Amino acid sequence: MDKYQPILDLIAEVLESDLGAGGLLERVVCKLSAAFPAQLCSMLILNDEEPSEFIFQRHDQSSPQRIYNLDASVIEVFRGCLSSSEPLLLNNLSQDERLAPLALATGVKLESLICLPMTSGKIQLGALILGNHDPGSLDREHLEMLEPVGSVLAHRLHTMQTIHSLQVANAELEVIRWQLTNSRNILRALFDSIPTSIYIIDRKFNLAAVNMHRARRTGLPPNQLVGRRCFQALFQLDDPCPDCRVLDTLFGGQSTSRTRRHWETDFEPQEWEISTYPILDDNEQVTQAILLEQDVTEKRRLEATLAQSEKLAAVGQLAAGLAHEINNPLTAIIANAQLLQRELPAGDDKQELVDLIARAGARANQVVRNLLDLARKEHYDFAPVDINENIRKALTFLQHEFTNRAIELVFEPEQDLPEVVASPDHLQGVWINLLSNAIDALEEGRRLIRVATYHLGSEVHVSITDTGTGIAPQNLAHIFEPFFTTKGPGHGTGLGLSVCHRVVKQHGGSILVESQLGVGTQFTVVLPAA
């Protein structure tokens, strides 16, 4: 039993050792040299293709040594043993010249040799090799003592290799997981940073993803929208949107586009262009659809502005060509009408006819002048202006209209109103135009026009309110277009509000309008304070 004790101790140490593979192998070689009568205790370690490492210790050495890339003749000696996985016991090897390189490398002349393959299942890990310079000094009993060491060591090495492979694979998986997480975060940041509403739905209209831009419009975070029906979560509808075309994408694979108009206020519609695109799986089947919603309100406004600019260009060409031809006969008509007025005695029945000719000529002359003003680039002389005083001057021009038509005028100027940098003459034209429209809108009943000035923050507001007939909702979007008018023939050219709008824009301001049929209309001019 005593002769087996070193072997048992070696097996126990192999099983309990926490050394790495290199340290464990050197430890085993040291223990073998103490347990067996051998001048050479060694271990051959295999890699995936061929023997690559030889760890050995001579009886007269204190620590193991290593040899890499053994001579091919030495490998040939162990090849049969390694390939068959059968232990090898040889004696009288002095005549085998193939082992001469091994004897030369280790310094031990070999006569007896034991080669024990280390296998775990069908996996070859290497071999335990004992050598002695005395013939017959190693026998079958030594081989039987070595076998349990080889078996335990093989399993231990295989376990360590498996653990190492798992650690490498786990590290690779961790790298892949990090890369996927990083890619997902980048895509999510990109998805949320795009200033366009984007969301993805499945074939049952369930939301699969919603970006932050679209979620903000609902007031909820994206995670509270995902999983809900898109028409319920995003549009607060019980059924799919009436003009929705996403079914053409989900079941037909077509990309679609449509326009949806949404009224944020009673007078400012917001237009959205909604596009749908299919998302395909590996079999080229549509599984989801991605929807993009773009706010094209400003685009439509710019298109309308461009169309209006083209109209103005046409008006400019028309005015330039006709102004001279029209003004000459108009001058003759007006001059002769004035001469007739002087010659006709007071109270003559023809006086009214001549007055009508003179007024019609003056009106035609004003139309031509408005055309020229609208088409040409006017010169603005900007200076600090007291808006209250500017409005008072404009009211004096229309005082006779208020008196003759029995119109009640209320002027409510704010005291200490900030000045405005403006062109005084152009602003007076704006007030006269707006007041003239208010006068024309008044019918029977209470005939009231209220003018008020006030300031909000860095803006000066001027509101002109009447109790007239009001403007129909379908006409509100067109009132600032050139030549658009709701007045009867001979009562309006459709240029007044267009000119007002252009002048106010030149001053960096805006015109707001609120109207209700049968109640009245309020125009508010907003100008930046000086």
Phi, psi of 374 (to 5 degrees): -70, -35
CA distance 274 to 395: 50
- Say yes or no: 325 and 453 in one domain: no
Angle between helices 140-193 and 21-35 (to 10 degrees): 170
> Taking every pair of C-alpha atoms in the chain, what is the biggest distance, in angstroms?
164
What's the DSSP call for residue 273? E
Q: Count Cβ atoms below 10 Å from residue 411 Cβ, excluding itself.
A: 13
**Are 304 and 287 within one domain?**
no
- Is residue 175 included in any domain, yes or no? no
What CATH number does the domain containing 49 carry? 3.30.450.40
Domain-located, residue 171: no
Say if residue 146 is in the same domain as residue 9.
yes
pLDDT at residue 236 tops 60: yes
Residue type, 90: L
| Mean pLDDT along residues 439-461 | 87
Query: For 369-417, what is each residue's pLDDT tens digit?
Result: 766 665 555 667 788 999 999 999 888 878 878 888 888 889 999 998 9
End-to-end Cα separation, the chain, in angstroms: 112
Phi, psi of 287 (to 5 degrees): -110, -30
Least confident of 222-231, 260-269, 327-336, 464-473: 260-269
Domain end position, chosen among 313, 340, 375: 375
- Same-domain check for residues 244 and 318: no
What does the mean pLDDT of the chain come to? 82
263 within some domain: yes
Which of 98-102, 219-223, 271-275, 452-456 shows the lowest per-residue confidence on average (mean pLDDT)?
98-102
Are both 13 and 155 inside the same structural domain? yes
Q: Which residue has the tokens 């710019």?
A: 302
Considering its fold, how many domains does the chain have in total?
4
Residues 420, 454 contacting (CB under 8 angstroms)? no
CATH of the domain at 401: 3.30.565.10
One domain for residues 125 and 243: no
Task: Judge if 362 and 407 occupy the same domain.
Answer: no
Of the spans 67-71, 160-164, 278-282, 334-338, which averages the highest pLDDT? 278-282
Last-in-domain residue among 249, 270, 295: 295
Neighbours of 262 (CB within 10 A): 11
pLDDT in tens, 455-506: 888 899 999 999 888 888 878 777 877 666 766 555 556 677 888 888 898 8
Residue of 34 and 455 predicted with greater confidence: 455
Going by pLDDT thresholds of 50, 70 and 90, the confidence category of residue 268 is: low
CB-based burial of residue 226 (10 Å sphere; 0-12 exposed, 13-18 middle, 19+ buried)?
middle
The percent helix, strand, coil of the chain (3-state, each to 5) is: 45, 25, 30
| Tens-digit pLDDT profile for residues 294-305 | 988 888 878 877
> Per the domain annotation, does 190 fall within a domain?
no
DSSP string, 243-272: T--HHHHHHH---EEEEEEEESSSS-EEEE
Question: What CATH number does residue 261 fall under?
Answer: 3.30.450.20
Distance CA 422, CA 115 (A): 108
The answer on 478 and 412 residing in a single domain is yes
Do 104 and 223 lie in a common domain? no
Residue 218 has pLDDT above 80, yes or no: yes
Distance CA 88, CA 420 (A): 111
What is the predicted pLDDT for the residue at 220?
92
User: What are the tokens at 61?
Assistant: 């050495």
Sorting pLDDT into bands at 50, 70 and 90, what band is 348?
confident
Highest mean pLDDT among 38-47, 117-126, 233-242, 307-316: 233-242
Q: How many degrees, rounded to 5, is the angle at CA 75 between CA 72 and CA 78?
A: 155
Per-residue pLDDT band at 291 (split at 50, 70, 90): very high
* Domain extent at residue 424: 383-528
Position 344 in a domain: yes
What token pair was written down for 136? 């017959």
pLDDT reported for residue 486:
66
Evaluate whether residue 319 is within a structural domain. yes
Residue 85 lies in a domain: yes
Residues 285 and 308 placed together within one structural domain of the fold: no
Instruction: Say whether both 12 and 160 belong to one domain.
Output: yes
Residue 149 lies in a domain: yes
CATH number of the domain where residue 324 is located: 1.10.287.130
Question: Beta strands 123-132 and 40-46: pairing type?
Answer: antiparallel
Q: Tell me what percent of the residues of the chain surpass a pLDDT of 90.
A: 22
Q: Are residues 394 and 281 in the same domain?
A: no
Where among 295, 329, 354 does a domain terminate? 295
Q: 13 pLDDT exceeds 80?
A: no
Chain centre to alpha carbon of residue 450:
49
Tokens of 311: 């109209």
Distance CA 498, CA 221 (A): 44
In this prediction, residue 14 carries a pLDDT of: 67
